[in-house]
A and B are shown apart, each in its own frame.
Chain A
Amino acid sequence: MSEASPAKAYALHLGVIVLLFVLSFLLPDYYHGLLARIMVLAVFAMGYNMLFGYVGLLSLGHAMFFGAGLYGAGLAIIQLGWSVPAAFAAGLACGAALALIIGLLALRTTGVAFMIVTMMFAQVFYLAILYFAAWTGGDQGQVVPQPARVLTFGATSLDLTNPTMRYMTALGLFSLVLLITLAVVRSSYGRVLVAIRENEERTRMLGYDTFSNKLAAVVVSGTICAASGAAYALLFGYVGSSFASVQYSILPLLWVLLGGAATTLGPLIGTLFMYYVIDLTSGYTSAYLLIVGIALILLVLFFPKGILGTIRQRWLGWLP
């Protein structure tokens, strides 16, 4: 990562945000709705990237953080009748608290053990959702009622079920997280994370408390993923256990690998790519997952660092 071009980097990111804003007015209805969903899930991927891309910790359990946000926000409305902002805050708090606990425990391990421990915790989380079906709705899940998904500020109300409002809310969240990610990775803290990824022993020798830094990264990562989950519940109105299943731990890994680990825009590119490949190919064959698999193999062969990662390596060294 070159440090020479902060202006270029910020201009690129702001350009992407402006492009997404403009696209809201240009896209046909279906792709407009799909892009709103993709932006929310790209936030999930950005949260995952924070830990995987920049710290080098491969988690197979991030569905639990997404799920914590999803259920934290969804159940706050369904069971407690909370308002949208309070429910979103509840989702964030659930994700942050869970990430802190999981971080404290799982960071005692590294490498393959970290993968397995995070996967097991996520499985516990998933089975707990099924076990407490009376509250969570179990495997069937629950609907967040449409009338409750309205944000009210005095006389002003924002209906999150309105496609335009949903898109703009998703874009707002995406933009905020993108800029936070960019700021974090360009900060001295971000450099410490990369140093840990490259050589943890040496970083510790230089006087950094690597455990605390990694724990903070787990909490930031988990909170961002929870923000995505909470937004998903509020914008799309469904809270279900499949979003906490192992599939949703693998998906952000794939999105990040595809787009480029340790690139700020890679998660968006990867999520977009996967969504569109599935959407287009499923119209032609029921074996679309085979095509997705082949596409993934080809990408790994020809873009081993992901799409943006390879572009950065070959052409645009300044990409953050």
Chain B
Amino acid sequence: MTDKNGFFDLSKSGFTRRTALKGLAAGAGLAVAPGFVRYAQAQSSAPIKIGFQSHRTGIGAAYGRWYEKTTAAAIKAINAAGGINGRQVEVIIEDDGTDPGRGAEVVGKFATQHKTDIVFGTLFSHVVIGSAPAAGEAKMPYFVVSEGHHVASTKLNRYVFQPGITDVKSQIQSMAPWIAANAGKKVTQIFPDFAFGYDHRDYLPPALKAQGAEVIAQIAIPPTESSFTKYFPQIPAETEVIYHVMVGPAVLTFVKELGEFYGSNRPQLFGFIDSLEAVDINSPGLEFLDGSHFWEGSPRYAQADDTEAQKAYRAAVGIDDNGAAVGDPKDVSTAAHMFGCWETLYVVKKAMEDAGYKGPEDRAKLVEATEALKEFAEGPEHPQGAKTFNGKIHQCFGIQNISKVEGGKLKVVHKTKIEDGLYEAEGDYTTQAL
């Protein structure tokens, strides 16, 4: 078609559609300019635009709704306090349908149509992983609240950050000392046979081994299963703790059938609240969980020793003492995760201020300023607790809560230390080009 070393050598020549057009226009006298007019970049007084990639529909919709509420509350607070660098913050929401294909399109839409300053959002790992290439190619800082290990694995790219919620590897590792010391040494794991379950399958055994305990059986349950009775005989009789992380609508059946299997004489139960996010802990069928323990990122129920920052955060987001929407006790929140939206937005604020961020031309500075962050002190901006941040792997580390189901509520009985969740970095994003 044309000279290979000229026309097609895009990686070296910086060729774009526009340079091609200029060539065409010069050569043929074509005047096809309308589509090439660049929109003016953000002005100094214009609002900072944050593109929020939300699970409005699809399997993550319950999370998406509460992520939106938390985000709206945080933005309101940030704007009331003067915004970021003296500019108000505007959030533009697009639905990713909890689908990785659509997620990538939405990131592209934020970058090229809405022309947002950054993209922020979403929870489900496959959407984050599916969207990450689009963010990297558009050189668009992409702050996620996903808790997956994918960011810290350093297999995404330099533009993806998770500074507001800990990752699942760290969470699991933090649980091991308490389980070994308080629940039992012989653990049987029951988990869904897909990625969320595999994180627990892979990270728990070494963490428990380091504490002198062991996983004696791992039972993977296919995601298509709707009845679980046939799996329970596989639980070894010497099991002292059942570690369960079933998720989705089947969890109610799972708990009910586990209760019928064991009756009143059961081993200790330890689970991740992911199973029951947005589900009332007092739902029929969940009575069997009374006395069992759960991981919680941030406590669903108000605790006696809540800090003023925690109280203010709960009031701002609009959740009552039971973790449900104020005025609608049946609308249970995703409290264990959604705090991450609040905290991430304050990290974005801090990084933008550190970078002296003015507009999209400063995105690289924003990335470097975020990577330079080290610690976040507990307080109104970080109500869940203090955190450290590893700029090389773009991941924060923080405390975790272990809560006991007591009288139909979750009561925090133990808070882990940040050090419990630290692990060796698996790579270094800062070596990648911006």
Contacts and interface: CB of A to CB of B under 8 A. Distances in A.
A37 interface: yes
A237 B137 CA distance: 10
Given A25-B32, A143-B155, A156-B4, A30 B109 contact: yes
B195 to A, nearest CB: 4
Interface in A108-151: 130, 133, 137-144, 146, 150
Contacts of B134: 236-237
Given A130-B193, A158-B10, A238-B104, A25 B130 contact: no
Nearest to B130: A238
A156 to B, nearest CB: 5
B99 A242 contact: yes
A143 B133 contact: yes
B21 interface: yes
Contacts of B133: 143-144, 146, 161, 236-238
Contacts of B223: 130
Contacts of B157: 143, 146
A10 to B, nearest CB: 19
Interface stretch (B11-19, B238-246, B399-407): B11-19
Nearest to A164: B17
A315 interface: no
A1 interface: no
Contact of B9 (A22, A32, A157): A157
B261 interface: no
A82 B293 CA distance: 48
Interface residues of B, number: 51
Interface residues of A, number: 49
B100 interface: yes
B10 A159 contact: yes
A165 B126 contact: no
A141 B15 contact: no
Interface in B236-257: none
Nearest to B157: A146
B113 interface: yes
Contacts of B195: 133, 137-140
Contacts of B9: 155-158
Interface in B96-143: 97, 99-101, 104-105, 108-109, 111-113, 125-126, 129-130, 132-134, 136-137
A144 to B, nearest CB: 7
Contacts of A143: 129, 132-133, 155-157
A165 B193 CA distance: 39
Nearest to A243: B101
A33 interface: yes
B113 A29 contact: yes
Interface in A212-248: 236-238, 240-243
B135 to A, nearest CB: 11
B259 to A, nearest CB: 29
A207 interface: no
A141 B12 contact: no
B34 interface: yes
A143 B154 CA distance: 11
Interface in B264-286: none
A142 B198 CA distance: 15
Contact of A28 (B5, B99, B112, B150): B112
B57 A286 contact: yes
Contacts of A165: 10, 15
Contact of B11 (A25, A130, A144, A159): A159
B56 interface: yes
A150 B195 CA distance: 29
Contacts, number: 138
Nearest to A161: B137
A48 to B, nearest CB: 17
A162 interface: yes
Among A138, A140, A289, which residue has the most Cβ atoms of chain B within 10 A?
A140
B210 to A, nearest CB: 23
Nearest to A26: B35
B10 A30 contact: no
A163 B15 CA distance: 10
Interface string A22-50: 10111111101110010000000000000
B15 A25 contact: no
Contact of A140 (B4, B8, B125, B136): B125
A286 B56 contact: yes
A131 to B, nearest CB: 8
A313 interface: no
Contacts of A30: 108-109, 112-113
A77 B384 CA distance: 41
Nearest to B110: A30
B24 interface: yes
A162 B16 CA distance: 8
A238 B130 CA distance: 5
A282 interface: yes
B166 to A, nearest CB: 18
Given A140-B148, A236-B134, A164 B16 contact: yes
Contacts of B11: 150, 157-159, 162
B377 interface: no
Nearest to A123: B224
Contact of B112 (A29, A158, A242): A29
Contacts of B155: 142-143
A157 B20 CA distance: 17
Contacts of A25: 17, 20-21, 24, 32, 35-36
B194 interface: yes
A150 B381 CA distance: 42
B132 A34 contact: no
A141 B129 contact: yes
A27 B32 CA distance: 11
A62 B17 CA distance: 34
A188 B348 CA distance: 63
B89 to A, nearest CB: 20
A150 B10 CA distance: 10
A142 B21 CA distance: 35
B230 to A, nearest CB: 19
B95 interface: yes
Contacts of B21: 25
6 contacts: A29-B112, A30-B109, A30-B112, A32-B17, A158-B11, A161-B133
Given A28-B35, A165-B15, 17 more contacts: A24-B17, A25-B36, A30-B108, A34-B105, A130-B223, A140-B125, A140-B126, A140-B195, A143-B133, A155-B9, A157-B10, A158-B10, A159-B10, A162-B16, A164-B15, A164-B17, A240-B100
4 closest A-B pairs (Cβ-Cβ)? A237-B133, A29-B112, A30-B113, A30-B112
